[in-house]
Amino acid sequence: MTLYRIGSHKISCFRTSASRIYPLLHVLELENQQQNRQYGGSKNQGGGYFNRVVMMRLFGTLGIGLLAHQVYTAKSGDKDSLDYQVFRGKSVWENLKEDHRIENLARNAPKKAQKSVPSEKREDLPTYTLEEVLQHTTMEKRIWVTYGQGVYDITDFIPQHPGGSEKISMAAGSSVEPFWMLYGVHKNPNVLAILEKYRIGNLSPAEAAEATANMEDPYARDPIRHPALKPSSKKPFNAEPPPTLLTESFVTPVDLFYVRNHLPVPEISENDYKLEIHFQGKDYSFSLDDLKTKFEQVTVTATVMCAGNRRGEMTEIKPVKGLNWGHAAIGNATWSGPRLSDILRYIGVKENDPSIQHIQFEGLDHDVSNVPYGASIPFNKAIDPKGDVVLAYEMNGEVLSKDHGFPIRAVVPGTVGARNVKWLGRIIVSDVESDSHWQQNDYKGFNPSVDWDTVDFSKSPAIQELPVISAICSPDSGSVVKLNSNSSLNMKGYAWSGGGRRIVRVDVTADSGKTWHSANITAQDSSKEPHHWGWSLWSIDLPIPQGVREVELWAKAVDSAYNTQPETFANIWNLRGVLGNAYHRIRVQVAS
């Protein structure tokens, strides 16, 4: 169902189905600190993302008002701000139906955030009961919603609502708060100010409390995390460990392994769990016990890395859209379970079936529209026993943790984290890629001159194998270091390459490349390329000329295909901030 065309890459979301609003919303997430400040987001770590997500989710439940507001801000505000970059394009505006109407609304929107009032009574407006509000759930009767003690008639949003009438009906006649809650509790003045424009009345304090009495934070059941994990977003939870901990062990401890969640962690009962597989019109179902007993169980050492690892460095060139990852959104673990290739063969999939091109994965995590997280991998990777794709129920020999996909996660060695689908609920044997937002319109690379006006996601392949990367984990950037007695500086780090390519060399320099030193590979598993899935840890005592007080350290790795890293981020910059594998460069002070 095509409701609106908002820019080329957003069309597909709408075209696919009306229930696919979530992917659109995800596209529209605006994430950078500048924008966070602009909207008055909280300053605690992760709060920026949180507030931004909340704002975006409003589109799905409350209509186009926020969009209108953002456009207004964009048109009147700082042209360098991220939100402006997202919305300024003609392709966005010229294709948006009824754009004039929206712009008119926008012009009436408040220019600045006002004091939050929806939770308070407005003396100039009548008071309604929840019973009365509940009568207003159709266009004919007008659509009412509540927030705090406020009652709102949002009927005028319905025609422009990107998700259609099905979507808006979720909140019709009741409080918007449970829907907003999915993306975290919020107190964003801008959002509330827009809502307040549609205020028609009050609820009594008692009824306001009743409206949200059963409201639960969808993240309330998220697991407790290790305090060392540093979140880039709390709801959904995304966090990485301090880089110095990464080189402490070849296998990253589960509790310190970076977490990348797109949605709340689903609650799954081991006994009720079923993996569904759809193949040639039939559905096959496997219990956890089936997966543990019907197939050979293997253990694979594989590194998993987020496509956005090191995005923070890329952002220094120019802002990008995405979580502000450091260089620890990567970890190495052992993963145990049956091979996907065995399971596929078990249900009759043939390796050379030309009608099969992709294996789609769906997680059991889902958005308000019940759209699950989804991704796909090429069939040849999935069906090849040497591709080592495992449906893992153990990580580092322990039962898979909630954050890492309990009870089953797809581990696709050598492939970007986004395809290693957690809480795996469904596999679809298909001739096409997953149509999920994350496969089609998110994790892809573009040249540095492609911006949000010109991007065409259909022109670029979904990231699968990742390129060669390395990082310095110790010393910390900006730290003061003490040299060894021989005037050398101990450096440690990791290096990895996708596609099963082994790291064959890590070079470091303290003089901007005048002199390169090859580091010692201190940990590497013995599997051979092109089936070498784990990272390599490295260390070197790098000679530092006496008297030097500040030094810039660079690291680059070379893999078994002799691919090496690009020198700088300038020429690999891309609007989504993925694939950030330039030389890692840090500056440290030398203690006298």
Residue 484 sits in the site that holds a second copy (CB under 8 A):
no
How many helices (H) and strands (E) would you count in the chain?
Answer: 19, 28
- Residue pair 493/555 in contact (Cβ under 8 Å)? The answer is yes
- Which one is catalytic: 26, 260, 339, 366? 260
- Which one is catalytic: 152, 443, 494, 583? 443
Q: Active site includes 306?
A: yes
Near a second copy by CB under 8 A: residue from 81, 232, 376, 565: 565
Give least dist CB 31 to a second copy, A.
22
| Residue whose CB is less far from a second copy, 381 or 422 | 381
Say how many residues touch a second copy, by CB under 8 A.
47
The two tokens of residue 223 are 């697991």
Near a second copy by CB under 8 A: residue from 164, 253, 530, 543: 530
Near a second copy by CB under 8 A: residue from 7, 467, 534, 577: 467
* Cα angle 465, 467, 472; round to 5: 130
Q: Active site includes 443?
A: yes
Residue 447 sits in the site that holds a second copy (CB under 8 A):
yes
The two tokens of residue 140 are 């004919």
- Residue pair 288/297 in contact (Cβ under 8 Å)? The answer is no
Residue 495 sits in the site that holds a second copy (CB under 8 A):
no
What is the contact mask toward a second copy in residues 48 to 87, using x (rule: CB under 8 A)?
A: ----------------------------------------
- Do β-strands 424-430 and 469-474 pair in parallel, antiparallel, or remain unpaired? unpaired
Give least dist CB 352 to a second copy, A.
10
Residue 249 sits in the site that holds a second copy (CB under 8 A):
no
Residue 461 sits in the site that holds a second copy (CB under 8 A):
yes
Stretch that binds a second copy, among 104-112, 201-209, 260-268, 446-454 (CB under 8 A): 446-454
Residue 466 sits in the site that holds a second copy (CB under 8 A):
yes
Q: Active site includes 494?
A: no
Helix axes 21-28, 47-62, angle to 10 degrees: 140
Please list the residues that pair with 508 across neighbouring strands: 517, 555
Q: Active site includes 186?
A: yes
Near a second copy by CB under 8 A: residue from 465, 476, 525, 541: 465
Give least dist CB 138 to a second copy, A.
49
- Do β-strands 424-430 and 274-279 pair in parallel, antiparallel, or remain unpaired? parallel
72-78 contacts at long range (C-beta below 8 A, 24 or more positions apart)? 72/106, 72/107, 72/109, 72/111, 73/38, 75/106, 76/111, 77/38, 78/38
Strand, helix or coil for residue 379: helix
Give least dist CB 466 to a second copy, A.
7
- Do β-strands 150-153 and 259-260 pair in parallel, antiparallel, or remain unpaired? unpaired
Stretch that binds a second copy, among 184-192, 195-203, 421-429, 464-472 (CB under 8 A): 464-472
Residue 212 sits in the site that holds a second copy (CB under 8 A):
no
Helices assigned H by DSSP within 65-149: 65-76, 82-87, 90-95, 99-108, 130-135
- Residue pair 314/569 in contact (Cβ under 8 Å)? The answer is yes
Near a second copy by CB under 8 A: residue from 106, 395, 540, 572: 572
Near a second copy by CB under 8 A: residue from 398, 568, 589, 591: 568
- Which one is catalytic: 136, 161, 505, 584? 161
| Token pair 């407005």 in the structure block, residue | 122
Residue 499 sits in the site that holds a second copy (CB under 8 A):
yes
Q: Among 11, 155, 18, 35, which Cα is nearest to 94's?
A: 11
Distance, CA of 493 to CA of 554 (rounded, Å):
11
- Site residues for a second copy, 338-397, by CB under 8 A, read 378, 380, 384, 386
Residue 543 sits in the site that holds a second copy (CB under 8 A):
no
Strand, helix or coil for residue 86: helix
| Residue whose CB is less far from a second copy, 154 or 572 | 572
Residues sharing a CB contact under 8 Å with residue 564, sequence separation 6 or more, in sequence order: 468, 556, 557, 558
Looking at the annotation, which residues are catalytic?
Answer: 161, 186, 260, 306, 443
Interacting residue ranges for a second copy, rule: CB under 8 A = 378, 380, 384, 386, 445, 447-450, 460-461, 463-468, 498-499, 501, 504-505, 507, 513, 515-518, 528-531, 556, 558, 560-568, 570-572, 579
